[in-house]
Amino acid sequence: MLYFAKWKIAVIAAVCLIGLVFTVPNFLTSETRQSIPDWLPNQSINLGLDLQGGSHLLLQIDREAVLRDRLTDLAETMRNDLGDIRPRIRRSGFQVGDLSVSFEVRDTDRMEEVREVLRGLVTQIGGGISVGAGGPDLQISTDGNRFIATLTEAGIKARLSSAVQQSIEIVRRRVDETGVNEPTIQRQGEDRILIQLPGVDDPDRIKRLLGRTAKMTFHLVDLSADPNAARLPPGTMVLYEEEGEARIPWAVRKKVEVSGEHLVDAQPNYQEGRPVVAFRFDAVGARKFGQITSQNVGRPFAIVLDEKVISAPRIESAILQGSGIITGGFSVQEANDLAVLLRAGALPAPLTILEERTVGPDLGADSIAAGETAAVIGFAAVVFFMFLAYGPVFGIAANTALVTNLVLIIGALSALQATLTLPGIAGIVLTIGMAVDANVLIFERIREELANGRSPFNAVEAGYRRALTTIVDANVTTGFAAAVLFAMGSGPVRGFAVTLFLGIICSMFTAILLSRMIVALWLRRKRPNVLTV
């Protein structure tokens, strides 16, 4: 246990050195860091939002809305596909339930034909990596002459997944518009999106932007219908325009003439000193828009955003160049926001904020300062104590191990680009205390062996050897606790788990190899006859 081959010494020294090289950038200013050549590590530890300040938002996509959309689409497709069959198949209207669409076929002798059409609508979802999610997305069943198309588990998952994916893209665009530096936007779980916005201490605008679906559509107004009437003609619905406190009802055609998908640009602007939003369509949108406006000159055209009429201006003349202006009594801020929303595109379904945690930059800075003070004082106390307890030689060995341990943890955190959180700092401080445990185990063992009358060499040898199994058993169990924390925890707690885990690995390395090497080298040089630990 006490003989170290030259190459072993070199490897141990190399590990320490690599740790040091990764640690150094943390103590440099960002300018100096940038001047470090690329082949050297030049990244500092990633600070969590609780330390650098920022906002953490957890959003959830409206699952019911996603599925409702899917079923409405499905009913529409069925209507079209079945409608194409000649001679016509007589059937009842579609009933859209929570997870299914159903209808009755009146020509009972043509069930097979219908079944054939519906079968064509079923898509196989590839199992692939997502084991268990494979299979058809729809299940077609019959009950008498009633056909029922039900979304399967796989179909729901796939739909939610793609809705979340789309939403992430839109959310990213909206967030980018606000000029936040390095936002993190990622999927969490089945139907959630986690957004981390470093440096944002007032996320109100972002929350306002994310709180809207921004589905924009243009509809013709049904002038023949009275919006206040109890019954409306089929194909017409009532939507409201909000003007201050007042809610003005409009009877608009359900048919979407042009939709927001065709927008290519939207910019806030002014018209007669009032904020407006100017927009431009792509070629398809421009053609549709031109057609509608030229056929309906003189009639109001409702601009609808998220089921609300923004305004319903009268079409003065055909608009053929594919651009226009939305007026709606906006404030400057509202016009800006609307332009951002229209540019970024509509969300597939509404998002709700489930959780928000915003930390101001002051608190973060205070936490770092307090954490550093605690680390330095805790460290000094432990170092002093170890010297008192184990004397110069073993004290130096243990304390060198302790310093190296810290360097390795910080180096590893930087190299892995793991996120350091406040609980993470607590983890490091805790590690300072616990890291000496391995050395304490060894030194106490050496004391015992010396007391049993062994020679210094023998005692040290036996001390390290016998303490080894204990150290491994003890650390493996603590390692399990850290691993569970990492697997199950979230955010700050995870940061704590990472530092705790790294601390365990580093303390085993420093105690079993580094401190042993120091003691061994000292023993070989001095060859003492009597040893006091």
Partner 1 sequence: MFRLKLVPAKTSLRFMERRKIAFVLSALLILGSIVVYFGQGLNRGIDFEGGILVEVKTEGPADLAAMRGLMNGLGLGQVALQEFGAPDDVLIRVERQPGGAEAQQTAVNTVKAALDPEFPGISYRRVEFVGPTVSGELVEAATIAVLTSVVIMLIYIWLRFEWHFSVGAVIALVHDVVITLGMFSVTGIEFNLASVAAILTIVGYSINDTVVVYDRIRENLRKYKQMPMPDLLNVSINDTLSRTVMTSVTTLLALVALFVFGGEVIRGFAFAMIWGVVIGTYSSIFVAAPVLMVLGLKRGTRDAEDGSGDEATA
Contact 386, 443 (CB under 8 A): no
> In the stretch 58-87, what mask flags binding to partner 1 with x, by CB under 8 A?
x-x---------------------------
> In the stretch 492-521, what mask flags binding to partner 1 with x, by CB under 8 A?
xx--xx--x---------------------
Total residues at interface with partner 1 (CB under 8 A): 81
Judged by CB under 8 A, the residue of 309, 418, 482, 513 near partner 1 is 482
Q: Quickly tell me which residue has 């493996």 as its tokens.
A: 476
Give the binding range for partner 1 (CB under 8 A) out of 27-35, 109-117, 157-165, 373-381.
373-381
> In the stretch 320-359, what mask flags binding to partner 1 with x, by CB under 8 A?
--------------------------------xxxxxxxx
Residue list 7-66, contact with partner 1 (CB under 8 A): 50, 58, 60
Judged by CB under 8 A, the residue of 83, 488, 526, 528 near partner 1 is 488
Q: How far is CA 294 from CA 212, 236, 254, 522, in A?
A: 32, 22, 20, 96
Q: Does 433 participate in binding partner 1 (rule CB under 8 A)?
A: yes
Nearer Cβ to partner 1, position 62 or 222?
62
Contact 499, 413 (CB under 8 A): yes
| DSSP collapsed to 3 states, 58-90 | EEEECHHHHHHHHHHHHHHHHHHHHHCCCCCCC
Judged by CB under 8 A, the residue of 444, 455, 522, 523 near partner 1 is 444
Q: Does 373 participate in binding partner 1 (rule CB under 8 A)?
A: yes
Q: How far is CA 496 from CA 227, 250, 371, 486, in A?
A: 60, 56, 13, 8
The C-alpha atoms of residue 510 and residue 517 are separated, in whole angstroms, by 9
Q: Tell me the closest approach of the beta carbon of residue 451 to partner 1, in angstroms.
A: 7
The C-alpha atoms of residue 409 and residue 33 are separated, in whole angstroms, by 20
Q: Tell me the closest approach of the beta carbon of residue 511 to partner 1, in angstroms.
A: 12
Contact 475, 508 (CB under 8 A): yes
Judged by CB under 8 A, the residue of 40, 297, 332, 381 near partner 1 is 381
Residue list 193-232, contact with partner 1 (CB under 8 A): 201-202, 207
Q: Which residues, in sequence order, are CB contacts of 247 under 8 Å at separation 6+?
A: 240, 241
Q: Does 473 participate in binding partner 1 (rule CB under 8 A)?
A: yes
173, burial (CB in 10 Å: exposed 0-12, middle 13-18, buried 19+) = middle
Token readout for 85 is 């069959």
Q: Tell me the closest approach of the beta carbon of residue 426 to partner 1, in angstroms.
A: 5
Alpha helices (H) in 195-282, listed in sequence order = 204-210
- Asked if residue 87 has a cis previous peptide bond (ω within 30° of 0), the answer is yes
Nearer Cβ to partner 1, position 13 or 476?
476
Q: Does 163 participate in binding partner 1 (rule CB under 8 A)?
A: no
Judged by CB under 8 A, the residue of 260, 423, 456, 463 near partner 1 is 423
